[in-house]
Amino acid sequence: MATSSGALNEELQCSICLDVFTDPVTTPFKKSELVKKKTDVQQMIQNKIKKIQEIQHSVELRKRNTEEEKSARNQLFTDLIRSIERCQSELLKKMEEQQKAAEKQAEDLIKELQQEITDLKKRNSELEQLSHTDDHLHLLQMYSSLYSRPHIKNWTEISIDTDVNVLPLHRALTHLKKTHKALNKKLSKSGLGWAQKYAVDVTLDPVTANPYLILTDDGKQVSHGGFSSGRFYYEVQVKRKTGWSLGVARESINRKGDISPSPEDGLWSMNDT
């Protein structure tokens, strides 16, 4: 308040005697300034009110957009969940069908084996009876049929596969990948639309660009380039290092997870420590 009072005294002070006016009279010039200040204050108030309205409108608009995005995302995840459940159901159905087929195969094979056992037991019983007979004529008559090798299957290579066929699983996973790719494409398209609101005009500098980057003449597009064949020579200065590594890798090398530095995995390297 002291500062305001001092400023007011200066306004009401005589420029000659430096005393404060005892009966000041407002001049039209001063009055116009007050009117202008009053107008400015009113305009500031209106601007603040307008900004409040803009903020409230933005919040409401964002709320509507949020609800729309929530609905769209819920639909995407619902589709993904349904796809997973459908693949799971189909996979379990295939596995059950395989199990039933294996059980039916085993049942048929067992029946066939049991029939062969029955035939062999019958043959064994007949041979046992003939081994105790004294009727040589009857023995000669039965010889050709009893001593001929019975027609039985070779069961050496016949077995039931205990491993589950994973081909349906691969098919199910492939289907899931396609579904995930389609959903991801939708999300990317939506995200791209959001990001494009903040797009700026950028011109890339060829002087500071990495040597592996190839720029167009207008500096608006960039692509990755590099050596594909031939021999190359490098000189690298290493500072403040206790060791270094030098390596060469195939283009098709797996770049995710743990990488084993071996020629079998497409990576040659040497270290100096």
| HEC secondary structure over the chain | CHHHHHHHHHHCECCCCCCECCCCCCCHHHHHHHHHHHHHHHHHHHHHHHHHHHHHHHHHHHHHHHHHHHHHHHHHHHHHHHHHHHHHHHHHHHHHHHHHHHHHHHHHHHHHHHHHHHHHHHHHHHHHHHCCCCCHHHHHHHHHHHHCCCCCCCCCCCCCCCCCCCHHHHHHHHHHHHHHHHHHHHHHHHHHHHHHHHCCCCCCCCCCCCCCEEECCCCCCEEECCCCCCCCCCCCCCCCCCCEEEEEECCCCCCCCCCCCCHHHCEEEEEEC
Least confident among 7-11, 38-42, 104-108:
7-11
pLDDT value of residue 134:
73
In this prediction, residues 174-199 reach a mean pLDDT of 70
> Residue 58's pLDDT is what?
92
Which of 83-92, 114-123, 247-256 is most confident? 114-123
* Percent over 90 (pLDDT), the chain: 12
- Distance from the first to the final alpha carbon of the chain: 74
pLDDT of residue 2: 45
What per-residue confidence (pLDDT) applies to 196? Answer: 66
- pLDDT beyond 90 at 49: yes
pLDDT at 86: 82
What per-residue confidence (pLDDT) applies to 1? 42
- Banded pLDDT at 271 (limits 50, 70, 90): low
Residue 32 confidence (pLDDT) above 50: yes
Under the banding of pLDDT at 50, 70 and 90, the label for residue 30 is confident
Under the banding of pLDDT at 50, 70 and 90, the label for residue 24 is low
Which residue would you say has higher pLDDT here, 106 or 244?
A: 106
Report whether pLDDT(89) > 60.
yes
Q: Which residue has the higher pLDDT, 144 or 203?
A: 203
Could you read off the pLDDT of 102-155 as tens digits, one per residue? 899 899 999 989 988 898 888 888 777 777 767 666 666 666 666 666 666 778
For the segment 154-168, the average pLDDT, to the nearest whole number, is 77
What pLDDT digit, counting tens, does each position of 228-242 carry?
A: 566 666 666 677 777
pLDDT at res. 161: 79
Taking only the tens place, the pLDDT of each residue in 58-76 is 999 999 988 988 887 788 7
Mean pLDDT of 194-222: 77
pLDDT grade for 179, boundaries at 50, 70 and 90: confident
